[in-house]
Each structure stands twice: as structure tokens, then as C-alpha cells.
Structure 1
């Protein structure tokens, strides 16, 4: 009984990092609020020159006193040399950390932020960089600092698609928002009637309602937003079909954040696990993309090279147009992947690999296969230096990379090489992970229903900054929202019945896949993995979709956050320690592909039980902190057993596994409301 209690406690504690909660009494003080307001005012209208007089005055000079830094390293010396000789990247140049010069400057500025001893030094350097440094480079270095400094991690950084909205929205939205004139709009409404693309939201309300902590559309929310005009901009071209997934800001920004978190790690611990985790995330994105292709009745097993694609014009943060990939880029990437495939095949056939330092290793000896994995499969994209990355191309920009169908073609080939290598050299875990004293008897799934819902996305940073300064005083009187439609699903439940011959703890993993086909060609998307305790006899386990690990819900917008901070500064609101959500969590609403409208989409659920070996570890990767590695339940590879090619299908058909046929239905919003 004591063991059962202990395991239950371990499970509860480990799940805390995956659930977003606001704890009563965890209220911030004015010192925190001053920092939070400063951060929001600095990040306001990033592409435009800073107009806030207080921060403008503080930002005239970078702190050069070396005693104000914990370390003053070579990166800082090189950055200051560029500054002293007027060779920093200009403010109006397209920024991409995959451009070698841009990357080196980013590292230098990051250390001028990260190594500061005091908040006052960091604040002055932030102000200076906001005034004089390229906005894209400045934001990259600042986000990196706030992710990696423990003492500043509590500060809330708004979502990247609110800070730099341009790459995430259509050219029509960008054009109408950036040209919006409130006085002219009022006159047009009075003289010509309400026929413009911008509408005043009355009564005040933003969608969705169900934010963590219940902080939207309440009486306190109305108080915070009392002086704000909420303006809704209608987007004429709504996303549909496959674009409903790959143009979703949550989908796009997830890839942005995990790459930002992994980049600029000084000496990461648990490097092997971090690499496994990164390639698992890449495989998850590819599997989820393929499941959407499957749902749309498109070819999904073998992705073909895209020869000609429909191109939706987008603009970067400083309104430069993105282009399709140049021939130079396509040739470079094709050669890079072709070399990888050849190197992997040669390593498999010869059982040897020549490392970059000139050492020839036997991949069968000891853990040398891990050395080969590190050599062949790097995972920090910011160090993938691309000669043509100085040009704005969708495939090479972290903001837009996942929009491009070629991304998934390249990912498919890279992951094929990755799985081939692991299949050849990875130790066989099969006997270690097969429980002998349990059986999965039954799996039941509540109705799986997807639908499209309206959502408001804050694009206030697209409005001209002149709308926010009155008598040289900064104010936030307007919030521009774009109303979009997005994919969503109703909460669902998985009920499991297991029979055990003893009290034991196990890990249960659930995967979603297609209705049939070759195991090594079908996509397997991991919905969940969790620790549970079995007792002798029959065990009934219920798992709610809202509790699936690594998933997050919706967040508060940049405008709402600012006005809540101002309300708290007037002692009219108890500001919780964190009223936003982790950046590196995957949007919970995107875990199911779009269901069938008239006939349900046929799919299967695969459930796998493995023993718990008491080696679970809790880390902070949901907050993009990879300094100590990543969370895991055991030492199995992430995505087990699909991180390699499954050679024996009996491995997936035993007492500790279960296949369950399921259907996903798609309903329109009106039907859901009626029900």
C-alpha cells in the first residue's frame, strides 16, 4: 500500500509541469510589475523606432563597464568591435540567424544581456539595443535571455505572432491594419455607415472565452479593458483545407519556440536525450501533418518533391516580401540531405564512421553508435548556416518554415535516415519493456469530434505607433484583433481496463494512426504518455484529453496583459505569478486531424504498456528551458517503438498492447451549440 501511495505521488508531482494552473496566493509585487510593464512597453511596435521617452533616454549607450558582467567573454568583445566600427547589422535589413554574420551578432548581444549582474544593467542594455539594433536580432537575443535566465523567467513575453504579426497574417491584414487611421475610421462610420473592414466590438468580448485562470470576459477583465476600443478586422481569405493546420499561428510558433529554446545552449547536459527529443518533435510534426493529409484524402505515405506550389504572398516584420526558395537554396538542401542518406547507408554497410575530427570509429563497439548519431544528426538549426539565408524565403525562416510543403518533404527524408540508423545500431529494448504480469483487456474512447471555431488574434503591433502616444505619454487606447477560424476538438476521454497479477507501476503510451497499412509507412502520432499504478486484479483507468502531457491551451493577449499589469499597479487586481502558458507546449486543439463530415474518419488508437523503472525525470522544457535536458518517464527513446523501423510486427501485438478502431467526426459550430 505504501508503494502504491508513493508511485501515485510521484505521478502527480511529475504531471504538475504539464498542467497550467494559477495557485491562490501566488501574487506578484510591484517590483515584478515594473519589470513586466517595462518589457511590454519595450516590445511595443518593434519594427518602428522607439518613442517612449523614458526608455529612449536610458538607451543612448550600452553598459561598457566590465565589472557589471558576470563574464565578459570573446563573443562580447567581437560584438563591441562591430559596434565601435559601425558594422552592426542595419535596422532595416532582413534578419535570419541562419546567416553566419547575423548569428554571430546574435550570440554577442545575447551575452551582453545574459551576463549582466543587475537588472539595471540589463534594462539599460535592452533599451540601447531596442534603439540601435536590428529589431529581429534584438528580439532573438532578448527572448533567448528571458528563456535561459532563471531570475527573469517569470516575466511574461507575449507570443511571437503578436510581437511580429506580419509573417503570420495575409498581406490584406497587414495592409489594412498598418494603414488604419482611427479618426478617419470614425468619420467614415458616421458619414458612410458601417461598411469598412474594421468593426468596433460591442459589447466588448474576445474569443475564445476559456483562458487559463478565467481571465477573459469577466467583470475584472471589463475593468482592465474599460478604456480600450477593441477593433475587429475581418480577414477576407479564411484558411481552409490543409491550410487550416499549416497556417495556424499556434502550429507555426511551436516550431519557432522549440528551436529558440535549443539554440545558444552553452554546454547542455543530457545532450543525447535532447537530440532524441528534438527529432521526436520533428517526427511528431511530420506525423500530424501526414494525418491531416490522410484526413483530406491526399497522398501521405511518401511525400513527393514539390515542383510547383501555390504561393501566398507574405511579408517579413519590416514588410519585405517573402519569396519562394531560390535554386541555390533548393540545391544546397538537396545536396545536404543526399549526403546524409549516403553517409548513413555507408555507416550501416561498413559498421564504421569517420568523424569530423578524423577519428574512425567502430559503430558496434560500446556506445560508439551514439557518437555517430551526434555526428550525423545535429539539432540546433540556428547553426545550420545557409549561404542564401540573407534573402527572405519562407522555407528558411523560423516564422514561416512550417507553411512550406517542402519542409515536410525534407523532414520525411531526414527522419527516414534517422530511423534507418537507429534500426541498425540501437540496442534492442524489446525484452526490457514487455511486462509479463499484465494484460490490456479493453480500450474505450468517447466520441472524437472536431469543428472549426472563431478566434481573435491580437495584431495591435501592426497599428501605427502614432495611435499610442499622446502628449509624449504612452497609452494603449486601441486593440486590433483579427478574427480567424481554426481547427478545434471537443474534449474526449480514453478509458482503459487492464488486468494485473501484482501491484506495479507502468507507463501507458497512446498513439493515433490511420485505419491500416504497412506499420513502417503509416504515421504514428503520440497523443499521450503517463505513469499509473496497477493493483492485483482488474484496473480501470480514465484519461482526459485535457491532461495529455506536453499540451497547452490558449493564452492572454498582449493588450489584455498590459492592462492587467496597469490595473495591478493601481492595486486593483491581484496579479498572479504567471497568467500565460508555456511557450514550448503544443496546442492541445490541434492533436486530432479534421474528422469526416458525413462519414466519420476511420483511424486507430494504439496503446502500449511498459514497466516503470523509477528513472523518471522532471525538467522544464515546456518553458523552453533545456539546460538540464528534458522530462522523461524512463530511458526508452522518445516515440518508442516508432523511432526506428519495426522489424517484428509481433512486437506490436501482445498482451501489453491494444489496437482500437476509432472514428473522428466533424461537426459545424451551430450543431455543437444546439447540442
Structure 2
């Protein structure tokens, strides 16, 4: 913590200048443009001669760093001896050696005393190092150094298009020649489109509807490539780049976070449970088996750079799961747990159960690295884990053990949160409608770098977008009617689940909304809009547009807002509903749970992948309450059937041709 304070103090003047009035000044804009251009075509050798010269040497003067630690010493030794990962090799931070290299470079970046030192080190790393190591370390610095958090990183699927698109798309983009396209435009399936035809037109902040947007994009040709057809029933979810990148950013944000805590662990497993529940709702909507998941085979037909899984990976994970389940079983059977020093703790004494929970269920991938080299595959790449069907099977097994452990050892204090003299009388909800929305995804970073340099100067003459069809839903709202005999501060949680009644053991419960309000004596009517739901984000500005807005602001024709991009760790708002039925609406249920507010709400900054100040929460209840444990219908019926709960049947309709 003292290091973080010192780093913030050293750059305090720059920090306040950048954040003044929420508008980036020229110093900020210079840094932002440099960041975007140094990351452009990061998989190719750097062509900017000025930065190549600046990056000739790593800054090794220890006086230029707040701390010069062992990680930096070992990293520099590895570089001098030629032991660092070659730039053309596959990078995966789950491999222990790759992670150590990333950690060393991160500290060279993070511990820099000033921007010039960081600038030189970034240029050096861009020239000499594996691009995966470089991007991972730089992303961590932007996430974690308070004085640079205002800088906007391009979205991960714009930096690495080859990871998120099929081979046919990548081949076409790599072979694209702008000069030939101009000559033979009518013979190509890549077409130029009018700026007003780019989708979605509506971005956060209304950027694509502004005069400044047309000024920024005036000199850019917007080209569009058609999307490949999808065949898998779940591809609209699993192949969604927002779905995949959400999990990647969350894990990157957690990694290297100094402030580890029981709360952060709980938050991570809550997010995992949400991802699993949302996946299961999609399975249910597609009439696929969802109650008990099974390992999936390799069913993907589109060829990709990453394979789905390998038998070696499967064996490694299954063995780890069996070991975890055995340890949890022993902990429950013997009510004790062995610590690393060989001593045993009584899990029923004080809060020792939390020590056991932390030992059994790590959440930071830096604690899960492996010694053997990991081959490219969806499951073991943090960028694409959610694309693998097997991810959810493994997640379910982990969560079953997690909930079983909590069911046995978690103190039973939940009943004090059940409100008295309160009854949820009714819920009315507007139509739930999903539809297929056409969008354009920026592929510019996969094009050949020669298109972007003119007489040695970086230019951005055109952008290549791929038209995709993604899942979206119409905005909706719901109205609660609540009766009370007294004034009381109350928290409401709204879950979406299947219409299956009876046992709830294997039904997924996905939390749509949670909010705090004051309930007064008499009848209370509360209205909530889907755009108000916490933790969700809308559409963001693309890599190309971001660069052009920076250039426009540098010409003093635009006030560059520091919130121009969406938070990286926010969940895509458009994915909260499963795909509805086309002929017959998809029947689902809502569960509304009211609990007493204990005046312990806290606001964190986890949407921006910053966990230094903890995570946001309404109260002391577990984040996944009441589903963080295994609920037994008979003994805990009060938590699933009482006046402070309300069940509501709902239907979701899908309109295929609405967009």
C-alpha cells in the first residue's frame, strides 16, 4: 500500500491536471495517442522509427524507480541470457514461466518514477519482447496505477482479432490490399459504407450521433466484411466477444492485486456463479440439458487459431477437481483443515472456516499457474475461456464443493435479515423481447501495418469492420407493489430462473437487479428500468474512432471526455436475458427477495477492474444470497417461500427480424 501511495504522490500534479473537469488536456492526449499507436499491430514489428530509437535500451538506472525489486532483477537477467519468450511463440500467463516474465516487466512499468521512464520502457518492450507479455504487463499497469487509469486501453478483442474470429475471416483481413480493393471494389465482398450505416448507431454518450464524430471520421474510409454463418445453437452467447472479454478483464483486474481479502474471493465466486447461471438459462431456452452438465466433445466447425481442448488439459483439470472434492469432503467430515506448516485448525472455531475457504478455493489465476507449457486452446486461454463448453462443467463442480462447504460452516445469521411487517404483493413487468442486432466489430489491428504508415508517419486511412449478428433485448421495466406497517430501509434482489417448480437444487438463478430503497407504511409502488441495473455496460467506442477522437482533440476541435469508453469489467447489458422463443415465447420465472438493510453498504470501483478499495455491496449478506449455499427445500423454506419473497411467471419473445 505504501508503494501505491508514493506512486500517486509522485505524479499528483499530472493526475489532477488530467482529471480537471473530466476533460483530457494536451499532456493526457499525447499519452493516449501514444498508447493507441504503440498497440496498433502489436503482433508485428514496430515501424515507428522514433519509438524504435527510444526503445533501444531498457531503463536500468535504479534511481528511476520507486522500488527496484527481485522480480525486476530476475527479469533483466533472463533478458540478457536470452531466456525470455520469443515474440512469435504463443503466450499464456497460466504457464508459470510466462507469468514470471510478465510479473518482471510489470514491475519495470509500475515502479517507474515518471512518464519518460515508463515511455522508454514501453517502447523497449514493444520492440524486444513477446507481444503477449508486453500487452499483459501494460494492461495491468493501466488498471492498477491510479495516475494512468484515465488512459483508455483498446478492447482486448480489437487488440487480438485473431483470437476471437475464425480463420476464414482472418485470412481475408490479412490478405486485404487497400490499393487493389479501390481498383476492384465491385468484385469484392468487402464494401465501403456510409458513416451513418455503422452499427450500433447508439453508443454510450451518444458519440455516433454527434457532429464531432463526423469531423473525427471525415478522412477514414469505413469498410465492412460480411460475417460467417453460425451453426451452433449456443454460438450467439459463447461466440459473443463481450461475453468472452468480460471474463478476461475480470481475471486481469484481480491478478496482481495486493489487497487480497475474503470479500474479493467471495466476489469472484459470485461472478463465476452468475456466469454459470446465465449459461444454464441459455441451455434451458435452447431446449438443451442444463440441470447436470457433462463434459463436451469438440463440436466446433469453424476453424480457429485456438483448439477447444486437449486430452492432457482434461486429465489435469479432472485430477485437480477430484483432489479439491476430496479435501472438501475431509474438511467437512473431520471439521478440521491442514495448514501449509502441517498444523490443523478447527474449522468450527471462530472464523477458521474462512481460512479453510481461502485455502481450498483460490480465485486469482496467478495462484493457479502450471509448470508445463500450455498449448493454444480455448479453455486455458483467459481471453476465450467462456467459449469452451467444458468451462461450465468444471465451474459447476467447483461451485458445488464451494456451496457444500459454506452450507456446513457458514454461520446461520441470515434470518435476522428477513424483514418483518412487510409483504411483496405484486410485480408487473413490461414485455421481454430479445432480437438479433447487426453490429460492426473493428478488425483494423489484423490488417497489414504497411497501410498505416506514410513517409514514416502513422496514419489511419481506413478501418475494416466485420458485420456480426448478436443477441440484444429491448429496454424493459418492472413495477413492484410492497405493503408495510412501518418505515424500513430494504434491499430487493431480483433473480431470473426457469419455470420449473418444486426442487430448486439444480435450477439456475441469475441475478438481474438489486437495489436499496426506503419502504413506508402503507402501499409502496416502485419502478425500475433495465438501464438502471447495476454492474452493466452498454456499447463502447471502437479502436479506430478512439484514435480519431484523440487526433481531433489535439487539434483543439473536441473536448476529449475521460469517460469516453465503457468500464472493462462491466457485464454487457444486452446479455442479461436468454434468447426468447420465436413461435412460442420462452416461459421463465422471476424471484424477488427483500432483506433488511444493515447500513453497511460500500462502493468500490470493480467495474473499472480496480479492487484496491474493495468491492461494492449492499450489506453483510453473502453476495449470492440465498444461493451461495445448497438450499434444502424442507429446512430452509423460509428463504424461498415467505411474505418477503414473490414469484412471477414471465415470457420472453424473440423477434428475429426486428433490427
TM range (shorter): over 0.9
Match for residue 656 of structure 2?
A: 668
Query: Is the 2:490–2:594 contact (alpha carbons within 8 Å) kept by the matching residues of 1?
Result: yes
Shift of residue 310 of structure 1?
A: 3.3
Match for residue 624 of structure 2?
A: 639
Match for residue 17 of structure 1?
A: none
Match for residue 507 of structure 2?
A: 522
Shift of residue 569 of structure 1?
A: 0.4
Match for residue 595 of structure 1?
A: 580
1:541 equivalenced with 2:529 (yes/no): no
Match for residue 87 of structure 2?
A: 91
Query: Is the 1:329–1:388 contact (alpha carbons within 8 Å) kept by the matching residues of 2?
Result: no
Structure 1 231/440 Cα, relative in aligned 2: closer, same or farther at 3 Å?
same
Query: Is the 1:110–1:142 contact (alpha carbons within 8 Å) kept by the matching residues of 2?
Result: yes
Query: Is the 2:374–2:380 contact (alpha carbons within 8 Å) kept by the matching residues of 1?
Result: no
Instruction: Please give the root-mean-square deviation of Cα atoms over the aligned residues, in Å.
Output: 1.4
1:226-237 matches, within 5 Å, as: 226-237=218-229
Match for residue 202 of structure 1?
A: 194
Shift of residue 217 of structure 1?
A: 4.2
Q: 2:537 aligns with which of 552, 569, 580?
A: 552
**Distance between the aligned counterparts of 1:560 and 1:41, measured in 2?**
13
**Distance between the aligned counterparts of 2:450 and 2:460, measured in 1?**
11
**Distance between the aligned counterparts of 2:280 and 2:368, measured in 1?**
25
Q: Secondary structure at the match of 2:550?
A: helix
Q: Secondary structure at the match of 2:354?
A: helix
Displacement over 6 Å in runs of 4+: none
Q: Secondary structure at the match of 1:394?
A: coil
**Distance between the aligned counterparts of 1:634 and 1:311, measured in 2?**
46
Q: What residue ranges of structure 2 are gaps of 5+ in the alignment?
A: 1-18
Query: Is the 2:277–2:509 contact (alpha carbons within 8 Å) kept by the matching residues of 1?
Result: yes
Query: Is the 1:328–1:388 contact (alpha carbons within 8 Å) kept by the matching residues of 2?
Result: no
Match for residue 326 of structure 2?
A: 342
**Distance between the aligned counterparts of 2:139 and 2:202, measured in 1?**
27
Structure 1 389/401 Cα, relative in aligned 2: closer, same or farther at 3 Å?
farther
Q: 1:153 aligns with which of 145, 149, 153?
A: 149
Match for residue 370 of structure 1?
A: 354
1:248 equivalenced with 2:240 (yes/no): yes
**Distance between the aligned counterparts of 1:343 and 1:284, measured in 2?**
25
Q: Secondary structure at the match of 2:187?
A: coil
1:260 equivalenced with 2:252 (yes/no): yes
**Distance between the aligned counterparts of 1:469 and 1:616, measured in 2?**
52
TM-score, normalised on structure 2? Answer: 0.95
**Distance between the aligned counterparts of 1:342 and 1:238, measured in 2?**
40
**Distance between the aligned counterparts of 2:103 and 2:73, measured in 1?**
11
Structure 1 239/109 Cα, relative in aligned 2: closer, same or farther at 3 Å?
farther
Q: Secondary structure at the match of 1:669?
A: coil
**Distance between the aligned counterparts of 1:398 and 1:512, measured in 2?**
27
1:440 equivalenced with 2:424 (yes/no): yes
Match for residue 605 of structure 1?
A: 590
Query: Is the 2:298–2:309 contact (alpha carbons within 8 Å) kept by the matching residues of 1?
Result: no
Structure 1 311/332 Cα, relative in aligned 2: closer, same or farther at 3 Å?
farther
Deviations 1:59-89 (A, max 9, x none): 1111111111111111111111112222211
The worse-fitting range, judged by mean Cα deviation, of 357-366 and 553-562 is 357-366
The worse-fitting range, judged by mean Cα deviation, of 328-337 and 301-310 is 301-310
Q: 2:295 aligns with which of 305, 310, 316?
A: 305
Match for residue 19 of structure 1?
A: none
Structure 1 237/206 Cα, relative in aligned 2: closer, same or farther at 3 Å?
same
Match for residue 582 of structure 1?
A: 567
Query: Is the 1:454–1:484 contact (alpha carbons within 8 Å) kept by the matching residues of 2?
Result: yes
1:285 equivalenced with 2:275 (yes/no): yes
Shift of residue 593 of structure 1?
A: 0.2
**Distance between the aligned counterparts of 2:297 and 2:564, measured in 1?**
45
TM-score, normalised on structure 1? Answer: 0.92
Q: Secondary structure at the match of 2:583?
A: coil
How many equivalent pairs are there? 637
Deviations 1:139-196 (A, max 9, x none): 000000000000000001110000111111111110000110011112222xxxx231
Query: Is the 1:450–1:489 contact (alpha carbons within 8 Å) kept by the matching residues of 2?
Result: yes
Match for residue 3 of structure 1?
A: none
**Distance between the aligned counterparts of 2:560 and 2:657, measured in 1?**
34
Shift of residue 394 of structure 1?
A: 1.5
Shift of residue 25 of structure 1?
A: 5.1
1:659 equivalenced with 2:651 (yes/no): no
